[in-house]
Amino acid sequence: MKADASLDCIGLYCPMPIYNTSKKIKELKPGQVLEVLADDEGIKEDMPAWCKTTGNELLGIEEEKGQYKAYVRKGKKEE
Amino acid sequence: MAEKVTLIVFSGEMDKALAAFNLAIGASAMGMEVSMFFTFWGLNVIKKNQRPIKSRGIMRKMLNSMNRGGSKRLPLSRFHMLGLGKWMMGKLMGDAKFPTIDEQIAIAKEAGVKFIACTTSMGIMGITRDDFITGVDSFAGVATYLADAREGKVNLFI
């Protein structure tokens, strides 16, 4: 999947991946896609929950060898 | 308007403080408005690590020398083992790149989390405004907390 920006959260535990995502997404324009790399498996549940609450769209989460890539499209609603 | 989260931090132990800051930082990331009401032993979390004991009266002086507080002095609620358990937990968290209490306080402030110190506990225990780190937004009591909490979506006592 193609992303406009990437955020490395490898080695970080909750709540840092979500917190860093919330900061990084502010740099993007609505419609742009952020790729978040993480290895805490909580991300599989937390990223959908974060997107649902903040009005961003989760395009998908890819898993490979214990690492995750979550793709988030920035929503129109400014949180 | 942003949804509100209010946390009462009653406990003065490192693990419980971490749980509170975790929630506060997570809620900020969710776009929620967070306030942390520090009371009783919880005031230890936001005390300066280095400060003179100036409280009036022999009993308050005794209390405050035994109960110094400060982010670096918080014990673990279990397996503290005279500091050995805490040292090991700190090592594990450091290896996992998990932020320390001081770092979590800084992140929470950066995220706009509001810190409130309970004036009743301060008065009884002989703690002054000078005993706290910068970043305490207000000094207040139960009415302030409840006014926040009745608008809160998530209200927790830790």
pLDDT in tens, A17-28: 999 999 999 999
Does A27 fall in a domain?
Answer: yes
| pLDDT at residue A77 is higher than 70 | no
Count up the domains in chain B and report the number: 1
Does B88 fall in a domain?
Answer: no
B126: containing domain: 4-73+99-157
Establish if B30 touches chain A: CB-CB under 8 angstroms.
yes
Does A51 fall in a domain?
Answer: yes
Does B81 fall in a domain?
Answer: no
Does B34 fall in a domain?
Answer: yes
Question: Please, which pLDDT band fits residue A79 given cuts at 50, 70 and 90?
Answer: very low
Count up the domains in chain A and report the number: 1
Does B121 fall in a domain?
Answer: yes
Does B61 fall in a domain?
Answer: yes
- Who among A11, A12, A15 is closest to B29 (CB)? A15
Does A30 fall in a domain?
Answer: yes
> Which A positions 4-33 lie with beta carbon below 8 A of chain B?
11-16, 18-19, 21-22
- Who among A11, A13, A53 is closest to B30 (CB)? A53
A46: containing domain: 5-73
What's the pTM?
0.92
Does B82 fall in a domain?
Answer: no
Q: A77: nearest CA in chain B?
A: B31
A67 touches A39 (CB < 8 A): yes
Q: Is A9 tagged catalytic?
A: no
Question: What gap in Å lies between CA A5 and CA B38, rounded to an integer?
Answer: 38
Does A62 fall in a domain?
Answer: yes
pLDDT tens per residue, range B31-80: 999 999 999 999 999 999 998 888 888 999 999 999 999 999 999 999 99
Does A10 fall in a domain?
Answer: yes
Question: Please, which pLDDT band fits residue B115 given cuts at 50, 70 and 90?
Answer: very high
Does B79 fall in a domain?
Answer: no
Q: A21: nearest CA in chain B?
A: B29
Q: What is the CATH number of the domain that holds B69?
A: 3.40.1260.10
Does A78 fall in a domain?
Answer: no
To the nearest whole angstrom, how far is the Cα of A2 from the nearest Cα of chain B?
24
Q: B20: nearest CA in chain A?
A: A15
Q: Show the CA angle centred on residue B72, arms to residues B154 and B76, nearest 5°.
A: 65
Residue from A10, A14, A16, A49 carrying the catalytic annotation = A14
Q: Which two tokens stand for residue A5?
A: 């920006």
Helices (H), strands (E): how many in chain B? 6, 5
Q: What is the CATH number of the domain that holds A14?
A: 3.30.110.40
Q: Do A18 and B22 touch (CB under 8 A)?
A: no
Q: Do A53 and B31 touch (CB under 8 A)?
A: yes
ipTM above 0.90, yes or no: no
Q: Which two tokens stand for residue B84?
A: 């050995």
Q: Show the CA angle centred on residue B21, arms to residues B132 and A62, nearest 5°.
A: 155
Does B83 fall in a domain?
Answer: no
- Who among A12, A14, A54 is closest to B30 (CB)? A54
To the nearest whole angstrom, how far is the Cα of B57 from the nearest Cα of chain A?
43
